[in-house]
Amino acid sequence: MPVERVQKILARAGLASRREAEEWIREGRVTVNGQVVSLGAKADPEKDSIKVDGRRVKLAQRLRYILLYKPPGVVTTSEDPEGRTTVVDLVKARVSERVFPVGRLDYHSEGLLLLTNHGELAYRLGHPRYGVLREYLVKVKGVPDESDVSKLLKGAVIEGKRVVPKAVELVRTTPKAVNSWWRVVVGEGKTHEVREFFKRVEHPVQRLIRVAIGPLRDERLKPGLFRDLTPEEVQSLYQAVGLAAQEEASHGRTPSARLHSKTRGVRAGKTHRGGTAGAGGEGHRQARFQRKPPGHVT
C-alpha cells in the first residue's frame, strides 16, 4: 500500500471526514509509530502504527454506503448531547460498521441522507469544489411571485458567503393557493440555506424534503428506513466526485478501517431490491414515521 498523508488515511478508512481528521491532527491526538504527527505527515497504513487517542487504527475489509430517509425530528449527527434520536441510531442495530452522515439535513427537515465509512468520498461529496447538487421539494406559505423568484435566484449571504441556488421552480400550488410546492437545487452545504432563501422573501418554509443527492434518488424509500446502495449507485457517486474505482481497487478488497475495539453490530436484513431494512421493518415497508407524497399534501 503506498505512503500517503495521514489525514487521508483516516478519512478513506472511514474514521472521520478529512476535515475532522485534520482537526484531530492539529489537536495532537494522532500518532504514527509513537510520534505525534502534524499536518502533512505521511504513513503506510499497513506497515506503520497509526493511533488516534492512543487506540490503534485497525484495517477492516468492508466499506458501507447507506441511503437513509431521515424523518423530521431526528438529528443528523452520530451523537447528541441532548439525548435526541440521531440518524446513526436509526441504522446501528443493523449496520455493524461505524458509519457517519454525509452533509447536513436539519432537525425539522426530512429526506435522503447518505451514511458511509468512506471518508474520502464523504469529504468530496461535501466540498463545493466537486459540484455535487442536492435537490429539494419545498412547501412554503403562500405563493412567491415573479419578483420573489428573482430575489430567490440571486441567493443570500449565509455564514459570510453568498450562496446562490442552481434552480428554483414552481411545482404546484395547494387549493386556493394557500401554500405552494417548489423544486430547489443547491450546490452548497450551508446550514438552513433553503429555509433562509424563502424566509427572506417572506414565504417561510413549512416542509422541506431532500429528494436527490447528486445521482442518488429513491422515491420508494419511506421515512426511517434505509438500504445499501447498489454497485451502480456507488460507481455513480465515484464518478460525480472524480474518485476512480481503480483507486480503491489498488488497495485490495474495499478497504475501510476502525479503531480496534470489541464493538459489535448486527447485519441488516435483505430487501427485495437487494437493500437493507431500517428501523421500521424489512424492505420498504412503512416505518413508524409516516408521510404522504408531496402530490397529496394540502
* pLDDT value at residue 57: 84
Label residue 20 by pLDDT band (50, 70, 90).
confident
Across 11-49, b (16+ Cβ under 10 Å) vs e yields bbbbbbbbebbbebbeeeebbbeeeebeeeeebebeebe
Q: Give kind and range of the element (H or E) at residue 122.
A: helix 119-126
Q: Which amino acid is at 296?
A: H
Alpha carbon separation from 176 to 132, 142, 179, 182, 297 (Å, rounded): 36, 10, 8, 16, 13
Label residue 61 by pLDDT band (50, 70, 90).
low
End-to-end CA distance of the chain: 56
Cell matching residue 170: 414552481
Residue with cell 461529496: 125
* pLDDT value at residue 140: 98
Among 106, 148, 218, 228, the active-site one is 106
Average pLDDT value over all residues in the chain: 82
- What residues pair up with 168 in beta bridges, in sequence order? 184
* pLDDT value at residue 290: 33
106 is catalytic: yes
Cell matching residue 41: 505527515
- pLDDT score of 245 more than 80: no
- pLDDT score of 66 more than 60: yes
Within 8 A by CB and 6+ apart from 17, the residues are 11, 100, 119, 122, 123, 126
Q: Give kind and range of the element (H or E) at residue 13.
A: helix 6-13
Give tens-digit pLDDT for 257-274. Answer: 444 332 333 333 333 333
Q: What is the mean pLDDT of residues 132-136?
A: 96
Cα dihedral 106/112/116/118 (nearest 10): -100
Q: Which of 95, 111, 65 is nearest to 211 (CA)?
A: 111
Contacts by residues 165-170 (CB-CB < 8 Å, ≥ 24 positions apart): 165/194, 165/197, 166/133, 168/197, 170/143
Span of 3-12, 220-229, 286-295 with lowest mean pLDDT: 286-295
